[in-house]
């Protein structure tokens, strides 16, 4: 099916839902979903963004700015995953625990606003990775209209560009908890360290960045095209010093470079 046919299908799905609440992270997929929902449903499209230590301030600002610019109703709520001791233990189903807590909360809010459906931005490519959070979405009856329309990440980027959305080429993002190896505690201190380190690299001009937290070691992943830049002696020393100030004793560069879900490689190896 052509991507434009998929867009027609997406619009029809949203129209049939009548009034929706959209889980909005400010990423490529959810931004596109908010835009199309607003175009189709007008005031019956309500975006909701969760504030969390695992959600960088820059992402929150961009989400707020986009909804204001598009005239989309936008709610900010507090995410409470760190209050769950099981989540803090960082098990393999961490994403399940987080999404179950978050979307249960959104369900209650949606009822107050008369939103018949809650939708989120999973796409067709997400089925190929380890995504325990999908189980929580299915249990709670959360809809994934981009996935249901068969839209891939590449198609969503293409459509976003056609819509004139600045996010069309925005690097992929995942919550900061995903930077901590499974089985190692997730806490506010670690998340703040990761946020500060990644923001510093973004400020230096690096686009696709992950800082993986391995105790006192920071493992940096950047795109292959940016590897030569980050190892320049003067810049490398600045990064090392800044990361030391943040709290990392050692700073390393992952020679394989950025890849989505690198922390899941351990699961695949053990499996």
Q: Which residues are catalytic?
A: 175
| Angstrom distance (rounded) from CA 238 to CA 242 | 6
- Beta pairing class for 73-78 and 20-23: unpaired
| Angstrom distance (rounded) from CA 72 to CA 37 | 9
Tokens representing 17 are 């839902």
Q: Which residues contact 66 (CB under 8 A, 6 or more apart)?
A: 26, 31, 34, 72
User: How big is the chain by its Cα radius of gyration, in Å?
Assistant: 19
| Angstrom distance (rounded) from CA 42 to CA 3 | 23
Q: How far is CA 44 from CA 21, 37, 66, 229, in A?
A: 8, 8, 17, 46
């Amino acid at each position: 099916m052509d991507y434009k046919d998929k867009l027609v299908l997406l619009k029809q799905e949203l129209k049939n839902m009548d009034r929706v609440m959209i889980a909005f992270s400010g990423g490529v997929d959810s931004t596109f979903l908010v835009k199309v929902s607003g175009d189709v449903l007008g005031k019956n499209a309500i975006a909701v963004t969760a504030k969390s230590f695992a959600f960088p301030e820059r992402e929150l600002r961009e989400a707020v700015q986009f909804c204001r610019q598009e005239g989309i109703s936008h709610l900010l709520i507090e995410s409470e995953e760190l209050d769950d001791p099981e989540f803090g233990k960082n098990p393999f189903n961490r994403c399940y625990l987080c999404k179950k807590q978050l979307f249960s909360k959104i369900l209650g809010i949606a009822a107050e606003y008369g939103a018949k459906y809650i939708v989120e931005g999973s796409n067709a490519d997400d089925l190929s990775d380890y995504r325990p959070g999908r189980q929580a979405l299915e249990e709670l009856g959360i809809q994934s209209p981009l996935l249901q329309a068969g839209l891939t990440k590449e198609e969503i980027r293409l459509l976003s560009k056609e819509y004139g959305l600045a996010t069309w080429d925005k690097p992929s993002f995942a919550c900061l908890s995903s930077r901590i190896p499974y089985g190692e505690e997730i806490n506010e201190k670690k998340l703040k360290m990761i946020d500060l380190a990644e923001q510093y690299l973004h400020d230096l001009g690096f686009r696709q960045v992950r800082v993986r937290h391995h105790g006192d070691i920071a493992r940096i992943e950047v795109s292959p095209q940016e590897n030569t830049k980050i190892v320049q002696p003067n810049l490398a020393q600045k990064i090392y010093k800044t990361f030391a100030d943040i709290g990392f004793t050692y700073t390393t560069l992952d020679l394989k470079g950025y890849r989505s879900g690198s922390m899941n490689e351990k699961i695949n190896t053990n499996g």
